[in-house]
């Protein structure tokens, strides 16, 4: 699903070197690291928003720089930290926008598009939110609707930037369980960033650890102890 | 739907209320069988009909432009005024009236100057939009340009004589009565092109509601969209400002009203409703102007704000409750 070769990321200056990664479908990966360690930059590199300084990113076997701006949204869905603040946008209309890469010139959605939208709400069991305005949703509900949008985008890869940052304990658990479930049942490759160590361990998922001392991103296959994670990613 | 039914009603009302009563059969025969010696026919063709169309065009055009700007900048305060595009027109008109520089004072006249100003400042904003990264910076640049130009125009005004000042002030107050029948086809043609252009942008506009970054992630070509929005803005604003003067307020107020009334972010609905409501709003203002004409002269620019501002405040308060 996602492969990287000799990848170096950053802006004008190199921020991190990335181990050659091989991320598969059916898995939820935790990208963990301290605040400001470059997690978001790494994610932005994976969606083609920030070009790599060096090396390659392959999405679904395609070199990312060969994908056009219209093809990337059909390959990878990105859930940002900032939920858009707009009046009069219902949750259903918001999720409908995920079909933008597939619709024709006027953006009309077909009945197949509508089915996918309904399905996304069904999977998360949030049908009751459909007609609510997004500006009136709670933080937990907003996150659910964002995930529904990512599902409706029908991509092999979903990337989420800090999806649990503003949530309480129950909602955090709910989001992680759901993402794990979706990766397994729908065969998607999902990456979520987080700096919550306990939650990450409890999820028993593979890790990508940002080590800000060595300036490296490593893949850690098996779930590890808290001490090991701190050593890998949170050492002062 | 209701708006679509109201519009023809207001058109008929608008034709009906002029100072000199003209029957609908006169309107009809002024087209089918024009009699150049009949004063009723002349009034109908040369005054009433052009005035009706300018009201429709000004209302619909400015409202659509306001909506496009507000969506592009993700800011309900945006509008052609804020971007300094109206100011561009004002500057060129002021130059033509008050400086006596041969280039501006040629027989091209007020209208061409206003159109030229809107286009040049549209291009200027377009140029800046390529330099700056965020829409907020662009909005700020537009505001700065606007106030810079206003200061410059004020300076020109203070340095000009009474006659020149009067001509400029009258233009700036706005009027729907400067168009001749023979000019109508080209004006209507340009307006239709502008409005159709806006409808062609429905899909990127819908995505832009989420902001530029999110819509880019959905495969929207931001740069092209931005370019077309500014081109349409320059065309419609330039046209309306040239013929009617800088009509403020409509572009800002109508799209906001439409969103409050229709409670949606689907731009097919928003564009249609803004055009209809904008046209109805200007028609209503002009009906009032015509009814009060025997007593005093109300400039359109004054009336739009007098009626519009309380209306918007009322709707905002109602919505918050």
**Cβ contact, residue pair B219, A49, below 8 Å:** no
Secondary structure of residue B308 in the 3-state scheme:
helix
Residue at B42 is within a domain = no
Which residue would you say has higher pLDDT here, A71 or B99?
A71
The predicted structure's pLDDT at residue A84: 82
CA distance B183 to chain A (A): 33
Residue at B72 is within a domain = yes
Residue at B29 is within a domain = no
**Nearest Cβ partner for A86 among B200, B209, B218:** B209
pLDDT at A48 over 80: yes
The predicted structure's pLDDT at residue A177: 93
% of chain A surpassing 90 pLDDT: 68
The predicted structure's pLDDT at residue B106: 52
A193, A40 contact by CB (below 8 A)? yes
The predicted structure's pLDDT at residue B160: 86
Q: Is B310 on the interface with A (CB under 8 A)?
A: no
DSSP 8-state code for residue A175: H
Element (H, E) at A193: strand A189-194
The HSE-up count of residue B264 (CA atoms within 13 Å, CB side) is 14
pLDDT at B321 over 70: no
Which residue would you say has higher pLDDT here, B96 or A186?
A186
**Cβ contact, residue pair A69, B210, below 8 Å:** no
The predicted structure's pLDDT at residue A102: 95
The predicted structure's pLDDT at residue A223: 63
**Nearest Cβ partner for A101 among B74, B209, B218:** B218
Secondary structure of residue A188 in the 3-state scheme:
coil
CA distance B312 to chain A (A): 16
Q: Which of B1-5, B58-62, B191-195 has the lowest mean pLDDT?
A: B1-5
Secondary structure of residue B129 in the 3-state scheme:
helix
Residue at B24 is within a domain = no
Q: What is the mean pLDDT of chain A?
A: 91
DSSP 8-state code for residue A213: T
Hey, what are A184's tokens? 């397994």
Hey, what are A207's tokens? 């890790």
Secondary structure of residue A107 in the 3-state scheme:
coil
**Cα-atom radius of gyration of chain A, to the nearest Å?**
18
Q: Is B224 on the interface with A (CB under 8 A)?
A: no
Q: Is B169 on the interface with A (CB under 8 A)?
A: no
Instruction: Report residue A91's pLDDT band, with 50, 70 and 90 as the boundaries.
Output: very high
Residue at B25 is within a domain = no
Contacts of A88 in chain B (CB under 8 A): 259, 262-265
Which residue would you say has higher pLDDT here, A54 or B320?
A54
CATH of the domain at B112: 1.10.3470.10
pLDDT at A135 over 60: yes
% of chain B surpassing 70 pLDDT: 95
Q: Is A87 on the interface with B (CB under 8 A)?
A: yes
pLDDT tens readout for residues A154-188: 999 999 999 998 888 888 999 999 999 999 999 99
CA distance B218 to chain A (A): 5
Instruction: Report residue B183's pLDDT band, with 50, 70 and 90 as the boundaries.
Output: confident
Most confident of B120-129, B194-203, B225-234: B194-203
Q: Is A107 on the interface with B (CB under 8 A)?
A: yes
pLDDT at B88 over 60: yes
Which residue would you say has higher pLDDT here, B37 or A179?
A179
The predicted structure's pLDDT at residue B35: 82
pLDDT at B198 over 70: yes
Instruction: Report residue B109's pLDDT band, with 50, 70 and 90 as the boundaries.
Output: low
Which residues does B94 contact at the CB level (< 8 Å), separation at least 6?
Answer: B152, B153, B156, B157, B168
Shortest CA distance to A127 belongs to which of A138, A141, A108, A111? A141
The beta-strand segments (E) located in chain B are: none
Instruction: Report residue B73's pLDDT band, with 50, 70 and 90 as the boundaries.
Output: confident
Residue at B27 is within a domain = no
- As a whole number of Å, the end-to-end CA separation of chain B is 26
**Cβ contact, residue pair B259, A80, below 8 Å:** no
Residue B81: domain span? 48-316
In total, how many domains does chain B have? 1
pLDDT at B215 over 90: yes
Partners of A31 in beta bridges: A193, A208
Q: Is A206 on the interface with B (CB under 8 A)?
A: no
CA distance A50 to chain B (A): 12
Other Cβ atoms within 10 Å of A35 Cβ, number: 8
**Cβ contact, residue pair B218, A80, below 8 Å:** no
Contacts of A71 in chain B (CB under 8 A): 219
Q: Is A69 on the interface with B (CB under 8 A)?
A: yes
Q: Is A131 on the interface with B (CB under 8 A)?
A: no
Contacts of B222 in chain A (CB under 8 A): none
Residue at B114 is within a domain = yes
Instruction: Report residue B95's pLDDT band, with 50, 70 and 90 as the boundaries.
Output: confident
The predicted structure's pLDDT at residue A28: 94
CA–chain centroid gap for A20, Å, is 19
Return the sign of the alpha-carbon dihedral for residues A137, A142, A145, A146: positive
pLDDT tens readout for residues A186-222: 999 999 998 888 888 888 888 899 988 888 998 887 6
pLDDT at B319 over 70: no
Cα distance between residue B239 and residue A188, in whole Å: 52
The predicted structure's pLDDT at residue B68: 94
Q: Is B196 on the interface with A (CB under 8 A)?
A: no
Residue to substitute from B76, B265, B268, B316, interface A, most A β-carbons within 10 A: B265
**Cβ contact, residue pair B203, A98, below 8 Å:** no
- Reported ipTM: the value is 0.90
Per-residue H/E/C for B29-41 = HHHHCCCCCCHHH
pLDDT at A145 over 90: yes
The predicted structure's pLDDT at residue B320: 57
The HSE-up count of residue B168 (CA atoms within 13 Å, CB side) is 24
Q: What is the mean pLDDT of chain B?
A: 85
The predicted structure's pLDDT at residue B100: 66
Minimal-distance CA residue of chain B relative to A150:
B218
The predicted structure's pLDDT at residue A149: 96
Q: Which of A126-140, A218-232, B283-297 has the lowest mean pLDDT?
A: A218-232
Instruction: Report residue B104's pLDDT band, with 50, 70 and 90 as the boundaries.
Output: low
Which residue would you say has higher pLDDT here, B211 or A117?
A117
Other Cβ atoms within 10 Å of B136 Cβ, number: 12
Residue at B190 is within a domain = yes
The predicted structure's pLDDT at residue A188: 95
pLDDT at B225 over 70: yes
The predicted structure's pLDDT at residue A110: 94
List phi, psi (to 5°) of A79.
-110, 115
């Amino acid at each position: 699903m996602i492969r990287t070769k000799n990848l170096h990321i950053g802006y004008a200056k190199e921020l991190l070197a990335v181990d050659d990664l091989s991320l598969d479908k059916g898995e939820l990966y935790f990208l963990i690291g301290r605040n400001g360690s470059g997690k978001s930059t790494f994610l932005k590199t994976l969606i083609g928003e920030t070009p790599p300084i060096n090396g390659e990113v392959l999405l679904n076997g395609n070199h990312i720089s060969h994908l056009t701006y219209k093809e990337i949204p059909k390959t990878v869905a990105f859930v940002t930290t900032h939920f858009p603040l707009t009046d009069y946008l219902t949750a259903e209309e918001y999720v409908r926008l995920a079909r933008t890469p597939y619709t024709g010139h006027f953006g009309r959605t077909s009945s197949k598009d509508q089915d996918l939208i309904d399905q996304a709400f069904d999977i998360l069991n949030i049908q009751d939110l459909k007609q609510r305005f997004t500006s009136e949703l709670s933080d937990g509900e907003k996150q659910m609707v964002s995930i529904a949008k990512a599902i409706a985008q029908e991509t092999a890869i979903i990337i989420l930037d800090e999806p649990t940052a503003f949530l309480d304990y129950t909602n955090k658990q709910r989001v992680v369980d759901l993402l794990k479930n979706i990766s397994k049942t729908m065969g998607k490759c999902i990456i979520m960033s987080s700096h919550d160590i306990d939650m990450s361990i409890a999820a028993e998922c593979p890790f990508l650890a940002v080590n800000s001392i060595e300036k490296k991103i490593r893949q850690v296959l098996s779930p590890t102890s808290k001490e090991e994670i701190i050593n890998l990613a949170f050492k002062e | 739907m209701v708006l679509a039914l109201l519009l023809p009603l207001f058109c008929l009302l608008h034709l009906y209320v002029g100072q000199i009563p003209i029957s609908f059969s006169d309107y009809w025969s002024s087209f089918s069988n024009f009699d150049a010696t009949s004063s009723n026919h002349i009034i109908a063709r040369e005054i009433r009909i052009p005035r009706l169309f300018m009201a429709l065009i000004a209302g619909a055009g400015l409202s659509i432009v306001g909506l496009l700007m507000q969506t592009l900048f993700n800011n309900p305060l945006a509008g052609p005024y804020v971007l300094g595009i109206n100011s561009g027109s004002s500057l060129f008109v002021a130059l033509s009236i008050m400086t006596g520089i041969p280039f501006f004072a040629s027989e091209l006249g007020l209208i061409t100057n206003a159109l030229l100003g809107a286009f040049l400042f549209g291009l200027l904003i377009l140029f800046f939009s390529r330099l700056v990264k965020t829409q907020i910076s662009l909005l700020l640049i537009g505001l700065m340009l606007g106030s810079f130009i206003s200061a410059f125009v004020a300076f020109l005004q203070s340095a000009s004589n009474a006659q020149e000042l009067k001509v400029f002030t009258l233009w700036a107050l706005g009027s729907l009565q400067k168009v001749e029948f023979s000019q109508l086809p080209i004006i209507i043609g340009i307006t239709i092109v502008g409005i159709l252009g806006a409808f062609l942008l429905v899909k990127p506009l819908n995505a832009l509601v989420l902001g530029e970054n999110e819509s880019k992630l959905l495969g929207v070509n931001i740069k092209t969209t931005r370019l077309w929005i500014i081109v349409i803005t320059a065309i419609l604003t330039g046209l309306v400002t040239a013929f009617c003067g800088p009509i403020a307020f409509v572009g800002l107020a109508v799209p906001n009203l439409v969103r409050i009334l229709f409670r949606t972010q689907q731009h097919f609905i928003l564009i249609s409703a803004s055009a209809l409501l904008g046209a109805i709003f200007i028609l209503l203002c002009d009906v009032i102007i015509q009814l009060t004409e025997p007593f005093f002269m109300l400039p359109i620019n004054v009336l739009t704000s007098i009626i519009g501002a309380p209306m918007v405040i009322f709707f905002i308060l109602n919505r918050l409750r």
